[in-house]
């Protein structure tokens, strides 16, 4: 194998490693996003069952934290963050493909959770929790290709 052949082989190897790393990163981000989605849905269900407005809002804040991640504009540290990673929105974008397609639904869920955080009555805050659950479940089905 000449010098030129070796050079090609090295370039091919580097490209293959790069491709594997990219695919693996996207898969990791996809798994991370799927986990955050499940946690946010569980929080939305908990919000609807909560007995006081402050507890409903705690769950809604957890949803915002899961969706936006620590760098989010509405992120508010409240003890342990139930979600890992950079936030559902960021991780879904990084995962690309079917994960990135659900971003409008996730954004909408985030806006609904934020509206619930501003609610003055428990009925409105719980209703927001219901809408968040429905939006995220719809997005989850699309993510899982159902």
Among 90, 93, 81, 101, CA closest to 40:
81
Near other proteins by CB under 8 A: residue from 39, 61, 62, 112 = 112
**Residue 99 touching other proteins (CB under 8 A):** no
The C-alpha atoms of residue 7 and residue 133 are separated, in whole angstroms, by 54
Contact predicate 97/112, CB 8 Å: no
**Residue 40 touching other proteins (CB under 8 A):** no
Nearest distance from C-beta of residue 105 to other proteins, angstroms: 5
**Residue 130 touching other proteins (CB under 8 A):** yes
Q: Total binding residues for other proteins by CB under 8 A? A: 19
Rounded to 5 degrees, what are φ and ψ at 145? 70, 30
Among 40, 55, 42, 50, CA closest to 102:
40
**Residue 135 touching other proteins (CB under 8 A):** yes
**Residue 137 touching other proteins (CB under 8 A):** no
- Which residue, 32 or 132, has its beta carbon nearer to other proteins? 132
């Amino acid at each position: 194998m000449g010098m030129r052949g070796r050079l090609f082989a090295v370039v091919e190897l580097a490209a293959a490693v790069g491709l594997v790393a990219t695919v693996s990163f996207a898969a990791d981000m996809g798994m991370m996003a799927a986990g955050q989605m499940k946690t946010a849905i569980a929080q939305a269900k908990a919000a609807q069952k909560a007995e006081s407005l402050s507890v409903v809002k705690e769950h809604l804040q957890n949803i915002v934290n899961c969706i936006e991640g620590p760098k989010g504009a509405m992120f508010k540290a409240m003890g342990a963050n139930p979600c890992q990673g950079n936030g559902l929105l960021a991780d879904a974008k990084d995962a690309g493909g079917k994960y990135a397609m659900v971003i409008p639904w996730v954004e909408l869920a985030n806006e609904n959770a934020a509206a619930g955080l501003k609610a003055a009555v428990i009925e409105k805050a719980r209703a927001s929790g219901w809408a968040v659950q429905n939006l995220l479940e719809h997005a989850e089905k699309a993510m899982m290709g159902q």
